Amino acid sequence: MKFSIYRYNPEKDNKPYMRDYELELLPTDRMLLDAILRIKTMDDSLGLRKSCREGVCGSDGMNINGKNGLACVTPLKDLKEPVVLRPLPGFPVIRDLIVDMGQFFKQYHSVKPYLINDNPPPQKERLQSPEDREELDGLYECVLCGCCSASCPSFWWNPDKFVGPAALLQAYRFIADTRDEATSERLDNLEDPYRLFRCHTIMNCADACPKGLNPTEAIGRIKKQMVKRMV
Amino acid sequence: MVNRIVVGAHYGLRDWLLQRISAVVMAVYAVGFVLCVLPRLPLSFEDWRAWFANPFVKISTLMFMLSLLLHAWVGVRDIFMDYVKPFGVRLCLQVLVILALIVYAIWTVSLLWSV
């Protein structure tokens, strides 16, 4: 199988280049990450992040044949040759397929992604009805791989001001949580032409999400809550 | 001055809503216009004049044009916010667009009520 991988080592290279690799696939090579790790045994200078290798840690987000995804849950048999691998677009490259997620996590922290409830916690736990808990489905599963935000042109142009689809999904995760009591502050925090309203609903995020989540829908629901509170 | 990233203007919802509502107004007008005009074709100059002399047509056309201008304002400002980084340039461009849109609004009224 043919691969073309983005290579850039700022200590050695003046500019990035694409390097071709050819790999004889073994029957055990199921996912793209299996192949990349075998390429790494051939060329140990190739840099990438990975950890759980089953789509839970969100480390190996990359641009695969033009679409962002997690290498560990991308089946090799679905890929067209040559498989072109690039780092997540719009993020500063540290080396090869490794990008700087600093700005991404800064935006994530800015939405206060934790439960805010000043009432004294009950003896055991804050209970929710099954229906209220269902509201969080499609929100809590996010692994923060960055595939969605790195596919969003609004995030490319304004990563310092636009919160981005991943963090907005998390913002809505806490707005939707009946145990959270800071809804109003959360909406105040987001009501901004840059922070929320750079989203032009092009839905690249929903298309890219390797977990099948829909940040665009969550963003729409945040806007709906804002309209509800205004009218 | 330190180049700080400043956000938190606490507006945006109104404009977003305005863009959606103005889109609906324009869609309704466009469909209504086509449906009203199509069966009367071909229209002569006098027919057009008579058509636009109707106060209902005048007011609905004005509503359409105002919606168009407000819609354009939100859209053009969004483009500036996305692509024009120096804020001084952005401010100048926004002021120019506002002035142009006001001129268009006045022009629309003068055209519509000249009939």
The per-residue pLDDT for range A30-84, each reduced to its tens digit, is: 999 999 999 999 999 999 999 999 999 999 999 999 999 999 999 999 999 999 9
The secondary structure of residue A18, as a DSSP letter, is E
Written as one letter, the residue type at A200 is H
Q: Give the number of C-alpha atoms closer than 13 A to the C-alpha of residue B12, restricted to the C-beta side.
A: 24
pLDDT tens figures, A84-135: 999 999 999 999 999 999 999 999 999 999 999 999 999 999 999 999 999 9
Instruction: Kindly report which listed range (A50-59, A172-181, A217-226, B41-50) carries the lowest average pLDDT score.
Output: B41-50
Instruction: Kindly list the residues from chain B whose CB atom is less than 8 angstroms away from the CB atom of residue A189.
Output: 8
pLDDT in tens, chain B (115 residues): 677 888 878 888 999 999 999 999 999 999 999 999 888 888 889 998 998 999 999 999 999 999 999 999 999 999 999 999 999 999 999 999 999 999 999 999 999 999 8
Question: What whole-number distance in Å separates Cα of residue B104 and Cα of residue B71?
Answer: 13
Alpha helices in A31-100 (DSSP H): 32-42
Question: What whole-number distance in Å separates Cα of residue B1 and Cα of residue A197?
Answer: 27
pLDDT value for B1: 61
Chain A residues whose C-beta sits inside 8 Å of any chain B C-beta? 153-154, 157-158, 160-161, 188-189, 191-198, 200, 223, 226-227, 230
Instruction: Kindly list the residues from chain B whose CB atom is less than 8 angstroms away from the CB atom of residue A193.
Output: 9, 11-12, 15, 81
Of B9, B17, B83, the CB nearest to A193: B9
Give the closest-approach CA distance of B61 to chain A in angstroms: 27
Closest Cα in chain B to A223: B13
Question: What whole-number distance in Å separates Cα of residue A144 and Cα of residue A139?
Answer: 11
The answer to whether the CB atoms of A192 and B8 lie below 8 A apart is: yes
pLDDT value for B11: 87
Domain A2-99: CATH superfamily, name plus number: Beta-grasp domain (3.10.20.30)
Tokens 């071709």 map to which residue? Answer: A20
Question: What whole-number distance in Å separates Cα of residue A86 and Cα of residue A109?
Answer: 27
Closest Cα in chain A to B83: A157
CATH annotation of B13-112: 1.20.1300.10
The secondary structure of residue A126, as a DSSP letter, is -
Tokens 């969100």 map to which residue? Answer: A58
> Which CB contacts under 8 angstroms, 24+ apart, belong to A224-227?
A225/A175, A225/A183, A225/A187, A226/A187, A226/A190, A226/A191, A226/B13, A227/B13, A227/B17
CATH annotation of A102-230: 1.10.1060.10
Chain B residues whose C-beta sits inside 8 Å of any chain A C-beta? 5, 7-17, 78, 81-83
Instruction: Kindly list the residues from chain B whose CB atom is less than 8 angstroms away from the CB atom of residue A153.
Output: 82
pLDDT tens figures, A192-208: 999 999 999 999 999 99
Beta bridge partners of A95: A98
Instruction: Kindly list the residues from chain A whose CB atom is less than 8 angstroms away from the CB atom of residue B76.
Output: none
**How many contacts (CB atoms, under 8 Å) link A and B?**
47
Give the closest-approach CA distance of A18 to chain B in angstroms: 29
- Chain length of chain B: 115
Query: Domain-by-domain residue ranges, chain A?
Result: 2-99, 102-230
The answer to whether the CB atoms of A191 and B16 lie below 8 A apart is: no
* Structure tokens that stand for B91 in this block: 């401010």
pLDDT value for B32: 94
